[in-house]
Structure 1
Amino acid sequence: MTAAAEAPRSWGGSLGAFRHRSYTIFWFGALISSTGTWLGNLTVPYVLYQQTQSAVWVGLAAAAQFGPAFILAPLGGSLADTRDRRKLLLWTQAGLGVIALLMWAQWASGLHEPLLLILLLTCFGVLNGMNNPAWQSLVNDLVPREDVTSAVTLNSLQFNLARAIGPALGGVLLATLGATWAFFFNALSFAIVVVSLLFVRRHPSRAITRAGGRFAAQWKDALAYIGGTRAMILAIVLCCVVGVLGNPIFSLTVVFAETVFDTGPVGLGLLTAALGAGAVGYALAGAIVRSRRSLGRRAAAAMIALGLALCLIGVVPTLVLGIVAAMAVGAAFLAAFATLNTTIQLLAPDQLRGRVLAARHMVFSASIAVGVLLCGILTDVWGVQWATIAFGAALVVVALLVALLPGWRFSLLDQASASPDAPISESDSPL
């Protein structure tokens, strides 16, 4: 960390943010925390499916984890715009760590009750709804404006590195030490990120203008802005489409592993890690080669690619081919989500940033909950392959309809390119 933080000013491009000590500490802490979170995101559906043999329970777990954000994100957005974001994150991350520790205690004690695990996940979702807007906004506070693009790229990279490392580590732990140790290491990762936040400070050049007024007035301003900006409406709606139709694959890899590819925890870990590896490949390629396509064209191409990749993973017969298809899904998902999320962040004014991101997180979390639950039901009825193919085909159809819809075409997203505001983060854990 010290070497990275003391890097010479000549550093630029995608590595420029690493010359700032606070950002570097935050990045490594976030990498460890995200790795633990993805380890937990593999362990929870695995143990639930082992206990119940039902994809509906897997869907309920995702709904419990992300559903509360629909209710709590507005409060999180206002807190991010009116409070010290670092101190807010210290409290929320500590609370999330306590809940993760309770999950470990439940499993270590032998109390393998699905309903209790769902209850703990709901509490986790409540705190995460208040945590997420501040987490995203803090990235912007740790570097000067000229290094925000670098911070975006590196933040996206750490999130997707964790998506690759966490499930692979989880597969090994589940196959060797069992679920109890997987839950324990997830809880430990929160302790590490809390310690890292103690050493993080806002960059001197980043003056924070905190919002005033009452909660209702704050959100009246934010919603008036969102409702009056067609490009923002389209970007948020398309984020929801990606959440409903594209995200369920991340929770249902356990069903693919057991019912389609007939593999154990290690194969499950590799399959889930492949989703992250594909995203890492996209993030690295994006850091090296800057696309010349407009935001609208990038969003359209990414959504169609994601739909086709989902159809592909729905038809491949072997684990090896499934891993290849999962990498394609991971790359396409990040391409779609990062493009839409960056559009939202470019459009959002600085003084409304926390609340706009909270609104996006709120509806996106709700879309994840709906999508995973719906796909879980269809999986129990049709099988996971046909359910995934149906969702992929629907995603392609929606993308084609938007491309042809007068007044609401993808080109509307190009308005974000003219905004003077820089994006905060291209990565946001849907899980």
Structure 2
Amino acid sequence: MSAVAGAPRGGALSAFRHRSYSIFWVGALISSTGTWLGNLTVPYVLYQMTGSAVWVGVAAAAQFGPAFVLSPLGGSLADNRDRRMLLLWTQAGLGVITLLMWLQWASGFHVPVVLVGLLTLFGILNGINNPAWQSLVNDLVPREDVVSAVTLNSLQFNLARALGPAIAGVLLATLGATWAFFFNALSFVIVVVTLLFVRPHISRILVPVGGGFASQWRDAIAYMARSRAMLLAIALCCVVGLLGNPIFTFTVVFAETVFETGPVGMGMLTASLGIGAVLFAIFQSVIRGRGGSFGRRAATALVALGVALIIMGLVPTLGWGIAAGLAVGAAFLAAFATLNSAIQLMAADHLRGRVMAARHMVFSASIAVGVLVSGVLAEEWGVQLATIIFGAGLIAIAAIVMLVPGLGFRLLDEADADPRDVPPLDPET
């Protein structure tokens, strides 16, 4: 490991040199696009049925909240099982749930509680799925291309945020929600097929881990606790989920109550967030790593995201809202990809599933809390003021990290050093 730790980091697109990663990326893009069809369709139909921003927040919490409970199990499975096979099973299960959502809506059984219940099941299975998904990204490329792979993985997710909502807006305005739910279910079939053709860059040696589930997580927590840099990166991911992510859900409320536009305008507004991320990725590929250290990039991205959210809360028209959405999407990708790359590079391979599970657990919990709080604030004070408050909160937290002794974004620069690997546990101890 130490022999390759100092290898020069590849360019922003270098992960595409690896066939399995390219296949995985295309399948993930199709799946994520379908998921964003559902992510926009669900809050849209709920808001149409209830007229309540709280219901929109409850739906998002139902989707992301269960990951807080299930991610630890997903992390242990990702470290002790074949990650590709684990993903095949979880993706198939997620496909079945989205198929049930389509059948519910197509049959005319339009009950908010049932729809939220299916979203909860989706969130439960996704909590198991996500650690293996994040860890497999690392397995498909050599270490020098990890940053490229993580950034491109974030790019496909945000590109899907552009494509999915745009398609959803057209479908909702023409064919209706039934077709949006159907294409979401179909996308999971495609990602299962692509996983059949994916092979890791280097075969993992599955080392049996003794001591049971609790013992495995004690080891993982002790490992993470030894690194202030890793704890800071995970905590900042939580901040991004709490204060930065709710905007992706509440574009529906912006479209209805602020800009007074229909499904197509709503799709364009939501798509602008993804397009902004794509534009940032293009910019990053041009500068090819000249954006500074991990710490400097994270600090800049958090402040930029806060400023962009404040602007989003102030603009009066759809056109300006789309422009602000581009800035929000770019800053969000910059923040999340930087933090996620740092965590991936600092994690030892035999613990990576549990480390990524911890990251996903706090990130999902923060999203659930964030959308619930922003839903209540939007209901009481309006979605614009809620967005401004969250943007100001991001800037304040970035300032605290920079000013409090013992913290500082410079801690994240440890991601450029050798990974803090530890020997695998003896199965008999």
The match for 2:401 is 402
Single out whichever of 191-200 and 253-262 deviates more from structure 2.
191-200
Q: 1:74 aligns to what?
A: 72
Q: Identify if the C-alpha distance between structure 1 residues 366 and 149 changes in structure 2 by more than 3 Å, giving closer, same or farther.
A: closer
Residue in structure 2 matched with residue 34 of structure 1 by the alignment: 32
Correspondent of 2:277 among 272, 279, 292: 279
Q: 1:21 to 1:415 in 2, by over 3 A?
A: closer
Deviation at 1:200, TM superposition (A): 1.7
The residue that corresponds to 1:425 in the other structure is: none
Q: What residue number does 1:50 align with?
A: 48
Cα distance in 2 for partners of 1:296, 1:268 equals: 35
Q: Tell me the equivalent position of 2:241.
A: 243
Residues 242, 367 of structure 2: 8 Å contact kept: yes
CA distance 1:345–1:149, change in 2 (3 Å): closer
Count residues with an aligned counterpart.
410
Which string of whole-angstrom CA distances, capped at 9 and with x for unpartnered residues, describes residues 261-301 of structure 1?
A: 01000000000000000011111211221234221121111
SS at match of 2:406: coil
- Distance change in 2, residues 1:211/1:270 (3 Å): farther
Q: Return the alpha-carbon distance in structure 2 between the equivalents of residues 89 and 386 of structure 1.
A: 40
CA positional deviation for 1:421: 7.9
Aligned-partner residue type, residue 120 of structure 1: L
Contact kept in structure 1, 2:12 and 2:284, CA below 8 Å:
no
Deviations 1:146-184 (A, max 9, x none): 443443343233222211111101100000000000000
TM-score, normalised relative to structure 1: 0.92
Preserved contact between residue 46 and residue 55 of structure 2 (Cα < 8 Å): yes
What amino acid does structure 1 have at the position aligned with 2:350? Q
What percentage of aligned pairs have identical amino acids?
Answer: 73
Q: Is the aligned partner of 1:208 residue 2:195?
A: no
Asked if 2 retains the 8 angstrom alpha-carbon contact of 1:157 and 1:284, the reply is no
Change (3 A) 1:115 1:237: same
One-letter amino acid matched to 1:154: L
CA–CA distance in structure 1, aligned partners of residues 270 and 418 of structure 2: 36
1:30-67, Cα deviation, whole Å (9 max, x unpaired): 11101001111110110111111111101001110000
Partners of 1:30 and 1:373 lie apart in 2 by 28
Q: 1:136 aligns with which of 117, 134, 137?
A: 134
- The aligned runs of 1:108-257 (5 Å cut-off) are 108-203=106-201, 205-213=202-210, 214-257=212-255
SS of corresponding position for 1:243? helix
| Counterparts of 1:394 and 1:199, CA distance in 2 | 44
Kindly report the root-mean-square deviation, in angstroms, between the aligned alpha carbons of the 2 structures.
1.6
From the superposition, tell whether residues 362 and 144 of structure 1 become closer, same or farther in structure 2 (CA, over 3 Å). same
Deviations 1:348-376, CA, capped at 9 Å, x for gaps? 11111000000010011000000000000
What residue is the counterpart of 2:426 in the other structure?
A: none
Quote the Cα distance in structure 1 between the aligned partners of 2:165 and 2:220: 37
Q: What residue number does 1:335 align with?
A: 334
Aligned equivalents of 2:390 and 2:87: distance in 1?
35
Report the 3-state secondary structure (helix = DSSP H, G, I; strand = E; otherwise coil) of the residue aligned with 1:314.
helix
Question: Per-residue deviation at 1:211?
Answer: 4.9
Task: Give 2:177's aligned amino acid.
Answer: A
Partner AA of 2:129 in structure 1 = N
Aligned residue runs from structure 1 range 223-372, under 5 A: 223-289=221-287, 290-372=289-371
CA positional deviation for 1:144: 3.6
**Native 8 Å contact 2:298 2:338 kept in 1:** yes
- 8 Å Cα contact 1:153-1:287 kept in structure 2: no
Report if aligned partners of 1:211, 1:218 keep a CA contact under 8 Å in 2: no
> Which residue is equivalent to 2:101?
103
Deviation at residue 17 of structure 1 after TM alignment = 3.3
> What is the distance in 2 between the residues matched to 1:99 and 1:253?
25
Equivalent position SS for 2:384: helix
> 1:250 Cα deviation (Å)?
0.5
Counterpart residue identity of residue 207, structure 1: R
SS in 1 for 2:314: coil
Scaled by the length of structure 2, what TM-score is found?
Answer: 0.92
* Matches of 2:20 and 2:339, distance apart in 1: 28
Question: Which residue identity does 2:235 align to in structure 1?
Answer: V
Q: 1:152/1:354 Cα in 2 relative to 1: closer, same or farther (>3 Å)?
A: same
Deviation, structure 1 residue 411: 1.6
Matched, 1:60 2:64: no
Q: Which amino acid aligns with 1:293?
A: G
The 3 A distance-change label for structure 1 pair 59 and 211 is farther
Listed as ranges, the gaps of 5+ residues in structure 1 are 1-11, 423-431
- How big is the shift at 1:217? 1.4
Q: How far apart are residue 20 of structure 1 and its match?
A: 3.2
User: Is the Cα contact below 8 Å between 1:306 and 1:332 reproduced in 2?
Assistant: yes
Indicate conservation of the 8 Å contact 1:348/1:421, yes or no.
yes
CA separation of 1:16 and 1:296: change in aligned 2, threshold 3 A: closer
CA distance in 2, matches of 1:44, 1:75: 27
Partner letter of residue 222 of structure 1?
Answer: A
